[in-house]
Amino acid sequence: MVYRARYAVNYVRAQGLVVWDTLPQYADSLMYPPEINPTPYPGQNDNVTFASATKGGAYHAGPGALVVNGVSVPPNSVYWNLGNVDEGVTDLLTFTVATRNGTLEGTTLTNRAFATAANAGTSQSQPVVTVIRSVSRPSITKVGARVSSSSTTNGARSPARPTVSALEHATTATRRCTTRWSMTTCPG
């Protein structure tokens, strides 16, 4: 799943701008379908995992908060240390997470992005809710058996026997949401 956060700096230059997004995790912002809630299987971990981020974004696993430009970034967050950003700049930051194989159909993920600068308060996006679409997609590959001249019965070749070389199960998630927010800084 790809999350997108668009930020905008209005009026005056943002000093020491930091943007972060805490990944959804069970008990905080990951919910199972109502008929299965709370956890369907004891010990099951359906938290998303960080895969990548654009424009210098980094992942902080924890434990504890990480201080970036005086900003406390919580554990399990993707963050960008953007430094000083001129007024009028709007940009798009993206990061990719992976759902775990076996995540249930209808599981919802809720998250939001945050931004703060030394000369501005913290801004936050509206919450974005993603519903996991989990579909079993088995695949099978048929490979013909090899018949050698030594495998004959009464001078006739044995019939070919197909073999199954692979059987796969994949979980997919679709995400078509965009998080949009603006951070406004004012002098003084």
Evaluate whether residue 156 is within a structural domain: no
> What are the tens digits of pLDDT across the range 11-70?
899 999 999 999 987 665 666 666 655 555 656 677 888 999 999 999 999 899 999 999
Q: How far apart are CA 65 and CA 63, in angstroms?
A: 7
Task: Please report whether residue 87 resides in a domain.
Answer: yes
CATH of the domain at 88: 2.60.40
For residue 151, is it within any domain? no
101 within some domain: yes
Domain-located, residue 52:
yes
- In the chain, how many domains are there? 1
3-state secondary structure of 53: strand
Specify if 37 maps to a domain. Answer: yes
Query: What are the pLDDT digits (tens) for 83-107?
Result: 999 999 999 999 999 888 777 778 8
CA distance 158 to 67: 71
Does any domain span residue 26? yes
- Domain span at residue 38 reads 2-134+171-184
| Nearest to 117, CA basis, from 76, 86, 77 | 86
Residue 141 resides in a domain: no
